Amino acid sequence: MIQSHSRRAWSAAVLAGFALTAHPAFAREPSRVLIVHERRELSKKDDAFLSEAYLRVASELRSIGFDVRERPARKDDSPRAEVEADDDAVATILVRRMGVMADIWIADHVTHKTVLRKIDPHDDPATLAMLVLELMRASLIEPFAVPSKIEPPPPPSEPVTRFVEERPPAPPKDKNVTLDVGASVLWGDVGLAIAPTLALSYRVTGPIKVGVLAMAPAFGAVVRGDQGVAHVRQELALVELGYHPSFPKWIHPRAAIGLGGYHLAAEGDAREPYRDARGSAWALLTSASVGGAIALSRTARIALDARILVGFPRPVVRFASEAVGSALRPSVAITTALEVDL
């Protein structure tokens, strides 16, 4: 262990001497490196992050003989103008925190060469400091052969020694399948009923969607007459073709037409001298609807739709020979649902 430390100290001394003598501009006095601090308002986290990274860079450069100075950025200067200003230094360093990424600006005032690298520091100041020093050694002031004594952090899931090119975020993919879960109020000549409602739709192209919708069972409708009372149960299913135009993100209007089937079942409670009876009927169902949805998030909305339902033939509820109610001539369904993109 003692021997290892001695070799390291000897290497650092040799490199420091080389840094101070190899370049003609640095033969008489220590080379000066300038660190520029941003004037932008930063969060406490980002400010602490950059301060620690700068401290590590300055300590490393001073340890091998550089004269490190620091100053705040000038108010209106661009990053390039900041680092390329001649401040009687051989190199100028500026690091800008840009979200999860960081920009490293380094200008070599001897070779008049400026380099910008965009990197992902993985929220670790030691990693950022190491990359700044590596960039100075590899790209700008090769004669100085700046060593790095900063211990690298444990390797993350992706390598941090490569420079990460900044790319615009990929646009979110459109969700093509939508599920609606809610309830409907169904009203017609046979009375008022409430039914759970389930719908599933698929975006074919642009604003065009196809979907299936089911309301079943609808309970609560009651038909009354002189002969007694009938309790009505209804079920319906539709295949719909919908038009969903593009509007602001928070509102989603739509309209649709549909074709499907309708089933009505009635159970009668008769008065004397009539007898109880039950029966059912089927009909071809057509529909037209308008409605809209209000966004709760990028993938969830609250929807409200109104449908006109017309059946062929129209199911009729009869007491003896008297028609006391007829469904779908037309009926109206109001549906509210939670809509989620899958």
Query: How far apart are the two ends of the chain, measured CA to CA in Å?
Result: 60
At 170 the pLDDT is 57
- Nearest-angstrom CA–CA distance, 23 and 109: 13
- Specify the domain boundaries for CATH 3.40.50 within the chain: 2-144
Name the amino acid, one letter, at 22: A
The better pLDDT of the pair 133, 1 is held by 133
Work out the pLDDT band at 310, boundaries 50, 70, 90. very high
**What is the model's pTM?**
0.50
Looking at 131-277, which runs of residues are DSSP E strands?
A: 177-188, 191-205, 208-225, 228-243, 251-270
Strand partners, 201: 178, 211
- Maximum alpha-carbon separation in the chain: 125
Sequence ranges of the chain with CATH classification 2.40.160.20: 177-341
User: In 3D, which of 254, 249, 276, 265 has the Cα closest to residue 337?
Assistant: 254
In CATH, what number does 177-341 get? 2.40.160.20
Q: Higher-confidence residue: 218 or 54? A: 218
| Beta carbons of 115 and 84 less than 8 angstroms apart | no
**pLDDT of res. 7:** 40
Statement: residue 147 has pLDDT above 50 = no
User: β-strand 251-270 against 228-243: which pairing, if any?
Assistant: antiparallel
Question: How far apart are the C-alpha atoms of 303 and 184, rounded to whole Å?
Answer: 12
Side-chain-side CA neighbours of 74 within 13 Å: the count stands at: 12
DSSP H stretches of helix in the chain: 2-21, 44-63, 79-84, 125-135
Instruction: Report the C-alpha gap between 339 and 199 in whole angstroms.
Output: 9
More confident: 301 or 155: 301
pLDDT higher at 326 or 306: 306
* Number of residues that make up the chain: 342
pLDDT of residue 86: 65
Q: At 24, give phi and psi (nearest 5°).
A: -60, -35
Residue closest to 251 by CA, chosen among 208, 294, 290, 291: 294
Copy the structure tokens of residue 96.
């800008």
Q: Which residue has the higher pLDDT, 217 or 46?
A: 217
Query: Could you report the per-residue pLDDT of 224-283, keeping only the tens digit for each?
Result: 888 889 999 999 999 999 999 877 778 889 999 999 999 999 999 988 888 888 999 999
The predicted-structure confidence for 173-228, as pLDDT tens digits, reads as follows 667 899 999 999 999 989 899 999 999 999 999 899 999 999 999 999 999 888 88
223 beta partners: 230
Which pair of structure tokens corresponds to residue 85? 């200003």
Q: What is the spatial distance between Cα 309 and Cα 192, in angstroms, rounded to a whole number? A: 14
Domain 2-144, CATH: 3.40.50
Q: Is 11 left (phi over 0), alpha (psi -120 to 50) or beta?
A: alpha
Total Cβ atoms within 10 A of residue 138: 11
Distance CA 259, CA 334 (A): 17
* CA–CA separation, 139 and 152 (whole Å): 20
Which letter does DSSP use for residue 144 in this model? G
11 phi and psi angles, rounded to 5 deg: -65, -45
The first and second tokens of residue 172, run together, are: 């979110």
